Amino acid sequence: MQIQKTFCTFVRFLRVNSLTTTKMTQPTANMTLQLNELEQGKHHYSFHLGNAYFCEQEKSEIQGGEVDVEADLTLYESDYTLHLKAQGEVKLICDRCLGEMSYAVDVEDDIQPDDQDEQSDTLDLNWLAYEMITINLPLVHSHPEGACMDDMQQLLQAHLCSTVEDPNDSL
């Protein structure tokens, strides 16, 4: 876990200080599409979101991961539909023991532009896949019962109340 945090901190340092290290700062293909440059019809894209991509996302609950994404874009004259599918695994922090945990990702969604929104000429597939993954994470991130770090489980057990006080008893 410490190595992953150090790696994420290093990637953020590189980003902030504008150092150019292609291997570290651009590990994921730029999947930003210029819709006005594409021909009408069906387009298929496959790409990978890896540890470095997730580390670059500020204030993310995802600490890392390896996720393969498939995108099927159907472009019409003035509209489009997008089908995204993501499969892989992301690293989260357990809410109970604060240890790193793996979470399997297997999600898909159909996306259509909102008619009320001003339609942009660009479509960032990386960001849309990241949002889809994040939205489908559980609200509580925790290891299965008994799988938390032993040290933290011992601390938690030491601080558990053994009796339940009845608030009416004090009257």
Per-residue pLDDT of the chain (171 residues; tens, 9 = 90+): 555 555 454 444 443 333 322 223 334 567 888 888 889 999 999 999 999 888 888 888 899 999 999 999 998 887 889 999 999 999 999 988 888 899 999 999 998 876 545 567 788 999 999 999 999 999 988 888 877 877 776 776 777 766 666 667 666
Burial class (CB in 10 A: 0-12, 13-18, 19+), 25: middle
Question: How do the domains of the chain map onto residue ranges?
Answer: 2-162
Alpha-carbon distance 75 to 40, whole Å?
Answer: 5
Per-residue b/e over 75-87, b at no fewer than 16 CB within 10 Å? beeeebebebbbe
Bridge partner list, 86:
69, 107
Q: pTM (2 decimals)?
A: 0.69
